Amino acid sequence: MGIKLGPVDLLIDGAWTKSSQRFPVSNPADNSVISEVADATVQDAIASVDSSHEAFKTFSQTSPRSRAEILRKAFEIMTSEIDYCAELISLENGKALKDAKAESVYAAEFFRWFSEEASRITGDFRYAPNRDKTIITDHKPIGVAALITPWNFPAAMATRKIGPAIAAGCTMILKPASETPLTALWIADVMQRAGAPNGVVNVLTTSKSSEIISTIMKDQRVKTVSFTGSTYVGKILLHQAADSVMRCSMELGGNAPFLVLEGANVDSAVAGAMVAKMRNGGAACTAANRFYVHESVSKEFSQKFGAALASLKVGPGVNQDTDLGAMVSIKERDKIVELIEKAKAEGANVISTTKVPDSGAFLSPHVVTGVKHGSVLTREEIFGPVAPIVEFQKQSAAIEMANDTEYGLISYVYAKDGAEGIKVARQMDTGMVAINRGVASDPAAPFGGMKESGLGREGGFAGIHEFLEPQYFAVDL
Ligand code: NAP
């Protein structure tokens, strides 16, 4: 492939800044080192807060229209360079180019959506019930935001935070995952080219996330943390945020159930299952993690789903015909292999569907039948191409099993029609439900979870409010 890499240094106060140390970024398809990026120090972290704090004084006063235009320009630049973005993602993350392209388009759409939302920030005007005063509610940008993103969607998780933060008038420090920093640095470069003033978007790449983020979160000038990642790390950050009563947005882990009810169209359910399970190679918080299939169709569903998984071509993500690329690292791949071994030890019937390249972080899709609810694959977030299938008899039991988890991000329901789908969806303890379809994510929809899957919503009308503080004026008019 050989694309020309973009920035590899820190972005602080509008300047690409070298750090005293660097760390390597690898291509998981062949374990080669792609590049070395700056490894931020505590001093760099403090400098990025200084810069965002200073920039906020003027950026928070800019017109919504001017902020909208920065985001619109960023959308246009990203769209015109979409193939480059996809190749960069695939190179450092390992995912198939098809997935990387889909992510790039999705990521750019957050800039478009929030460019449209910037000038639609609402307020409220009403009289107090006894009419002794007028109640005016305004919204002001919250201030400096710390944005922390995972490796599985290196572009979309960044734009889903940068977009609303800019639209609201906030300044920010983005800390991408250490496995995929190059895409975030390129997006920061897009923001600079789109006209984001110096200090509005700062980026710290680091191999010492804990130290750098705790430095930032201890700083009283930082007003909110927007995190996407595991529930485990989310809880650490919530504890840290308590010290300064910092606002938190948390997009955390998932354990999505996928229900195929009696009377559902099996072919549609298999097509939906392929998307819900295999989008991003299964490395998505929204990935269908466990399949509950009615006994009347479970055999047919398992056979057709297994055949569809077996038809996938596994190989280096950068090859045009690859359906499933490498996992992000050998370490992540081996975590999934360990879950597969535990499932075998529990007596499940595990079938590896496809031959994969010997070297690199590859993993065949697996279909697992004879799974019992409560076993390891129904409890743990798999984050890879493994599909455990549990058979059920009664719809009420399927709903109970679906909700029997500490997670509550998304569920999938295949029903005989939309009305039955909605009836079942209302009983799901998840922030999102996809009904008779395999994907729900959309920049215009409120993305987020219940229970330990998170706090707050990204995207939709709600997303911008994560970066706004309501302020009420009591006034006699
Ligand atoms: P992770 O280990 O929680 O890491 C996420 C981010 O937090 C990375 O930037 C990481 O940096 C950083 N980090 C790790 N430890 C930290 C600490 N002690 N203090 C501050 N920052 C820290 O998650 P991941 O493995 O990258 O991503 C997979 C997880 O993300 C899954 O659980 C998935 O469900 C979840 N996810 C959720 C959503 C959603 O919208 N709900 C979307 C995508 C992914 P390093 O890279 O340096 O460790």
pLDDT digits (tens, 9 = 90+) for 180-232: 999 999 999 999 999 999 999 999 999 999 999 999 999 999 999 999 999 99
Give the separation between CA 436 and CA 287, rounded to whole angstroms. 15
Nearest CA to ligand 1 atom 17: 210
Ligand 1 atom closest to Cα of residue 447? 40
Among 298, 303, 371, which residue's Cα sits nearest to residue 340?
A: 371
Q: Could you please report the per-residue DSSP string of 235-288? A: HHHHHHHHHHT-EEEEE----EEEEE-TT--HHHHHHHHHHHHHGGGG-STTSE
Give the separation between CA 217 and CA 129, rounded to whole angstroms. 40
Check pLDDT > 80 for residue 2: no
Give the separation between CA 77 and CA 73, rounded to whole angstroms. 6
The percent of residues in the chain predicted with pLDDT above 90, rounded, is 98
Give the separation between CA 444 and CA 386, rounded to whole angstroms. 30
Lateral strand order in the sheet of 349-352: 349-352, 366-369, 386-392, 288-294, 256-260, 410-414, 432-435
SS3 at position 327: coil
**What is the whole-number distance in angstroms between the Cα of residue 227 and the centre of ligand 1?**
8
Check pLDDT > 70 for residue 1: no
pTM passes above 0.85: yes
Which of 228, 279, 329, 451 for a ligand 1 pocket mutation test, highest count of atoms within 8 Å of Cβ? 228
What pLDDT was estimated at residue 326? 96
Other C-beta atoms lying within 10 Å of the C-beta of residue 17: 18
Q: 469: alpha, beta or left, given left = phi > 0 and alpha = psi -120 to 50?
A: beta
Residues known to be catalytic? 251, 285
Which of 152, 251, 279, 455 for a ligand 1 pocket mutation test, highest count of atoms within 8 Å of Cβ? 152
Residue with tokens 């572009």, as numbered in its chain: 155
Going from the C-alpha of 180 to that of each of 35, 37, 153, 199, the distances in angstroms are 11, 10, 9, 22
Q: Could you please report the per-residue DSSP string of 128-154? A: -TTSSSEEEEEEEE--EEEEE--SSST
Domains in the chain (CATH in brackets) are 10-252+453-475 (3.40.605.10), 256-442 (3.40.309.10)
226 pocket-lining for ligand 1 (C-beta < 6 Å): no
Q: What is the torsional sign of CA 194, 171, 109, 362?
A: positive
The percent of residues in the chain predicted with pLDDT above 70, rounded, is 100
What pLDDT was estimated at residue 256? 98
454 pocket-lining for ligand 1 (C-beta < 6 Å): yes
The string of pLDDT tens digits covering residues 358-413 is 899 999 999 999 999 999 999 999 999 999 999 999 999 999 999 999 999 999 99
Binned at pLDDT 50, 70 and 90, residue 477 comes out as confident
The string of pLDDT tens digits covering residues 300-355 is 999 999 999 999 999 999 999 999 999 999 999 999 999 999 999 999 999 999 99
148 pocket-lining for ligand 1 (C-beta < 6 Å): yes
Give the separation between CA 359 and CA 357, rounded to whole angstroms. 6
Give the separation between CA 442 and CA 448, rounded to whole angstroms. 12
- For the residues 111-130, what does the mean pLDDT come to? 97
Query: CB under 8 Å to 112, separation ≥6 — which residues?
Result: 71, 72, 75, 443
Among 320, 296, 312, which residue's Cα sits nearest to residue 395?
A: 296
Query: CB under 8 Å to 25, separation ≥6 — which residues?
Result: 33, 34, 35, 36, 37, 92, 179, 180, 181, 182
Q: Tokens in use for 106?
A: 């999705």
- For the residues 113-129, what does the mean pLDDT come to? 97
> How far separated are the first and last CA of the chain, in Å rounded?
66
Q: Could you please report the per-residue DSSP string of 52-80? A: HHHHHHHHTTS-HHHHHHHHHHHHHHHHH
Going from the C-alpha of 141 to that of each of 63, 203, 238, 313, 327, the distances in angstroms are 12, 20, 21, 47, 38
Q: What is the dihedral of CA 207, 165, 455, 203, to 10 degrees?
A: 0
Nearest CA to ligand 1 atom 30: 229
Q: Tokens in use for 150?
A: 């995972």
- For the residues 413-417, what does the mean pLDDT come to? 98
What pLDDT was estimated at residue 152? 98
**What is the whole-number distance in angstroms between the Cα of residue 207 and the centre of ligand 1?**
13
Give the separation between CA 383 and CA 407, rounded to whole angstroms. 14
Let me know: does 24 contact 33? Beta carbons within 8 Å: yes
